Structure 1
Amino acid sequence: MTHKRILVGFLLAFLAFSTRAIAADAPNIVFAFADDLGRYASAYADPNAPSPNDVIHTPFFDRIAAEGTRFDCALVSAPSCTPSRAAIVSGQHFFRNGSHSQLHHPWMKGFDDPWDEVRGFPLMLQASGYHIGWSYKMHISEDRMGGKDRNYRKHGSRFNTFSQNVMRADDTEAGKQELLEEVRGNFRSFLADRNDKQPFYYWFNPTNTHRSWVQGSGKKIWGIEPDSLKGKLPPFLPDNEIVREDFADYLGEAQAFDAAVGILLEELTALGELENTIVVVSGDHGAPGFPRGKCNLYDFGTQVPLAIRWPKHVAEGRVIQSPVSLLDLAPTFLEAAGLQADERMDGQSLLAAMNAETRDPEEVLRGTAICGRENHVNESRPGGLPYPMRAIRTGEYLYIVNFAPDRWPVAQPPLAAPLTNPIGGKKGGSRRMDLDFSPTRDFFELNEGDETIAEWWRLGFDLRPAEELYVIADDPHQMLNVADDVNFAAVKSQLRGQLLAELNRGNDPRVIDDGKAFDRPPYAPDTPERGVPDIEALRKEDEKADVN
């Protein structure tokens, strides 16, 4: 018995040494991933299409894009934090991740959780010898990144409230630099824990681009004039002072994130590791607190920036127009590390498309991306029910299925009404819904019912049809639904079949059996009283305001 134990121990040690030796020849991976950051970077500015990208300044994203490959149509699996991140880690469509298919991974005890079967690419990298870790937000089970001790933030987490801290500083530039030094310190702490020459995977996850940020901070900290956004906002948003300032503040936080990316590049250069590091920059979904952004399947909600730099392996200055999904990152990272992707992964490695020797990179990609959502805030609709959607994005079209068109996509109006039975029991005040608190949201709440904003309200808040179809070239902001146009009947039929085939292949609970698994436990709470607006309370508030 003793000899067997010695032999087994020797074999395990040999295998461990072998995997470390293999991994030592692999590239490092630094994944800079901003919370709630949509497709905003100065590299995306287009003289033929005015947009906020004309205003933002992101020199470090632009550098990575110029020295690597930029993706112009990168989409998330789900426009909500937890399911988006879980899809990246698992390499699977969001709906396959059980508890992690919805925000805050709710799950009723006593039910098997598909997430328990997910290993994820970070642990696969770690098993091969990588040093792995992250800073700031995770929003999925921390054990999929090696546990809580892999969260490097001993130098602080004040960067997550960037504008709040800088606006309190006596000197704006000094305040900015102090927070950037925090980023540097946390990254150095992570690097200090690796063995000599050990390859590493570092996930930089700041939340400063998540609301709330300080009103007016875009101008005060970064010099972004709100009026510079005149004529550049998406046309489904009011182009007024409130929304322009709100968006300018958002872009300011995006510039803070970009400055932090610059710190990571500085440190990699000083370490002599920049040329052997895959640097990836992206975000987990579209803009928060603006209608049709976060929680929506229009491009404004699902498109994110994506640039990848890896000298000698990734073509410089390449721009890929074909839709790709962030769940493609898992097999990409594993292939770069010399590892096989998990056979359960739905993603496709992007390395071939980025290889300089690939003459037609668009041809080696599948050319589509699948997106969807279920519950985000489970107080948005009566009964805590989700707003189920699935979509397929091609280069030419966006096709969306709304499985419950009788439900409200953001919240049951009136938006200003409090809830009869809010979580925590605290009544009064603004309610949580599938639109983050923001000055823009306040504008819509205060002006609900006003005919002057009726079209914007319809586009952002009204009931939606069972099917939506948009022609991207003619309608880049997806405002003209042609799903009922007979001229597009064949296109709609083809895309519907293509989408449903992929959902069925992945055993999406929304399309198997009765299609209502997401509407009941373990996915949804059995709470019929949840999410019901208190119309009477709102009426009394209005009467009181009229008297005053």
Structure 2
Amino acid sequence: MSRQVSRLVVITLLILPAFAFAESPAPARPNILWLISEDTGPDLACYGEPAVKTPNLDALAARGMRFTRAFTVTGVCSTSRSSFMTGMYAVTIDAQNHRSHRGKPDTDNPLPDGVRLLTHWLKDAGYFTANLRHFTTEQDPKWMHGTGKTDWNFSYPGKDFDTKNDITQLPKNQPFYAQINFSETHRGGDWNAADKRVAEPVDPAKVRIPPYYPNHPVVRADWAQYLDAVQALDMQVGVVLRRLDELKLADNTIIIYIGDHGRAMPRGKQWPYDSGLHIPFILYIPDKLQVQGYTPGKVSDRIIESIDLTATTLALAGVEKPVKMQGKVFLGPNAEAPRQYAFGFRDRGDETVDRIRSVRDARFRYLRNFYPERPFLQLNRYKESSYPIITVMRYLHEQGKLTGPPLALMAPTRPAEELYDIVNDPYEINNLARDPEYIEDLSRLRGVLNQWIEDVDDQGRYPEPPEVTDHWEQVMHRNYDKSGRRAAARAKVIEQIKATEK
């Protein structure tokens, strides 16, 4: 072979791979679908709740990954959603007060520089974004729909989503990021009708209620209604999964299911205990989209914060995590080290001014009450009107019949610090903060929390001005007292209580 021919062969061999690479189609980017249920603890059958049947979410967990230590960073919708839609702690971006920066007297709270909606990052990367309200076929019941809920405590430029309509309007030649928000587990119309929509309503006599509630028929009935709402939610999820199959989207769609925070119950929603922050989290990635760190069928005890879903969603879409984003990537080649701690917080909720900070590791939860002089059950008109259990507890307390752990919730003050051994005390009943045996754990977690408050520049350190808190006091007084809603709700529950005493 001549020298010229040899050189030609070598050059050809060098060039061919480049042409082959250039001509190969780039792998299709995945669609990503978030399924978000409101006010939902890990109360699915796959999480060990024996009273419910949740076959659709159970099957999704069996095919995907189920996480047992997933936590939202705050226990109420607007602050939680403000966090996971930005990948930032709400306390960092001054969005920590529930029902803030909307309406009078404060109308504007722009996000800090470098902080954006998850959907804006994804749109820049070529994704179509959707907050879907409709996904049923004509054969499905009309009540199966998404709410389109956003509920953020900040303002932002531009559109939040490209569309808020039907799942069939998603483009065929563009990857999408979509959310579907479910209201079944939020108190209201869907919740109230849940027992009539499910095939096998939960028997109140068979439910397991937390020991910080009185074992009363009205309490058990309310808890059973919540579990029926969980079953109704599962039916909704089943419709969505079937529609993905019908539209031939399932093979290229990553599914993330989470609750936006814990149960709508006393000591649950709005409180930074496990009952308010511990959420179900199921992740499903189709076979052709597998990534490092994902194992189908695995149950993971890795600590996950809700803001980590934001960072990881970007990673799954091939988008580099923004510099300021506080969420951590937990899958793929850029996965970060696992968290040792999950942090949580509570600030003003409606008219109820409070400030609690919390940190949890694999065994302990530590809480700091910055207003220990205030009662645990501070007046919150929404809760007083919506949670029958509160009325039951107040009624029994007035009768001198409230004892044990439920009685502690009626105390006029709170401890400045709380420490619970979650492994041995999962309901967080026995406060170990003054137990000498746990002084090292108390000191360690106190230090971790103090450092976190500094690191995230916790805006809760700066109280809201009186005109803001007074505004929300007036709003809630008008909506629940002047309207008669609170009095009517209390009268209805007391009637139910007395019916059980006959």
TM-score by length of 2: 0.79
Cα distance in 2 for partners of 1:93, 1:242 equals 37
2:342 equivalent in structure 1: 369
Identify which of 26, 29, 39 aligns with 1:26: 29
| Aligned positions, number | 437
Asked if 1:350 corresponds to 2:314, the answer is no
After TM superposition, list the pairs within 5 Å mapping 1:221-300 onto structure 2. 221-230=198-207, 232-288=208-264, 290-300=265-275
Contact 2:88 2:326 in 1 (8 A): yes
Asked if 1:71 corresponds to 2:67, the answer is yes
Asked if 1:55 corresponds to 2:51, the answer is yes
Amino acid at match of 1:41: L
What's the CA shift for 1:280? Answer: 0.8
**Cα shift readout 1:417-448 (whole Å, capped 9, x = no counterpart):** xxxxxxxxxxxxxx715566133233223323
Asked if 1:404 corresponds to 2:399, the answer is no
After TM superposition, list the pairs within 5 Å mapping 1:503-542 onto structure 2. 503-510=453-460, 515=461, 517-520=462-465, 524-525=469-470
Asked if 1:440 corresponds to 2:389, the answer is yes
Structure number, greater radius of gyration = 2
Kindly tell me: are residues 317 and 522 of structure 1, through their superposed partners in 2, closer, same or farther at Cα, counting changes over 3 Å? Answer: farther
**Cα shift readout 1:158-187 (whole Å, capped 9, x = no counterpart):** xxxxxxxxxxxxxxxxxxxxxxxxxxxx32
**Cα shift readout 1:222-257 (whole Å, capped 9, x = no counterpart):** 422333534x22111223221121111111121222
Cα distance in 1 for partners of 2:356, 2:312 equals 27
Kindly tell me: are residues 317 and 298 of structure 1, through their superposed partners in 2, closer, same or farther at Cα, counting changes over 3 Å? Answer: same
Percent identity over paired residues: 27
Identify which of 129, 133, 151 aligns with 1:139: 151
Amino acid at match of 1:372: F
Cα distance in 2 for partners of 1:23, 1:500 equals 47
Cα distance in 2 for partners of 1:339, 1:216 equals 42
Q: CA RMSD in A?
A: 3.3
Kindly tell me: are residues 143 and 111 of structure 1, through their superposed partners in 2, closer, same or farther at Cα, counting changes over 3 Å? Answer: closer
What's the CA shift for 1:106? Answer: 3.0
Kindly tell me: are residues 212 and 531 of structure 1, through their superposed partners in 2, closer, same or farther at Cα, counting changes over 3 Å? Answer: closer
TM-score by length of 1: 0.72
Amino acid at match of 1:138: T
What's the CA shift for 1:482? Answer: 0.3
**Cα shift readout 1:368-427 (whole Å, capped 9, x = no counterpart):** 11100101121x3xxxxx210010011010000111111233324xxxxxxxxxxxxxxx
Contact 1:88 1:330 in 2 (8 A): yes
What's the CA shift for 1:113? Answer: 3.1
Amino acid at match of 1:518: P
Question: Please, which moves more after superposition, 135-144 or 522-531?
Answer: 522-531
Secondary structure of 1:407's match?
A: coil
Cα distance in 1 for partners of 2:384, 2:301 equals 29
Unaligned 5+ residue runs, structure 2?
Answer: 1-24, 134-146, 495-502
Asked if 1:449 corresponds to 2:392, the answer is no
Contact 2:110 2:156 in 1 (8 A): no
2:276 equivalent in structure 1: 301
Contact 2:198 2:231 in 1 (8 A): no
Cα distance in 1 for partners of 2:106, 2:266 equals 37
2:144 equivalent in structure 1: none
After TM superposition, list the pairs within 5 Å mapping 1:153-232 onto structure 2. 186-189=166-169, 191=170, 194=171, 196-213=172-189, 217-218=194-195, 221-230=198-207, 232=208
Contact 1:132 1:145 in 2 (8 A): no
Unaligned 5+ residue runs, structure 1?
Answer: 1-21, 46-52, 153-185, 381-385, 413-430
Identify which of 313, 330, 333 aligns with 1:333: 313
Cα distance in 1 for partners of 2:196, 2:409 equals 27
Cα distance in 2 for partners of 1:42, 1:110 equals 43
Identify which of 468, 472, 475 aligns with 2:422: 472
**Cα shift readout 1:67-89 (whole Å, capped 9, x = no counterpart):** 11111111111101100001001
**Cα shift readout 1:262-293 (whole Å, capped 9, x = no counterpart):** 122112222222122110111111111x2211
Kindly tell me: are residues 112 and 211 of structure 1, through their superposed partners in 2, closer, same or farther at Cα, counting changes over 3 Å? Answer: closer
Cα distance in 1 for partners of 2:37, 2:313 equals 18
Amino acid at match of 2:84: I
Kindly tell me: are residues 102 and 342 of structure 1, through their superposed partners in 2, closer, same or farther at Cα, counting changes over 3 Å? Answer: same
2:120 equivalent in structure 1: 123
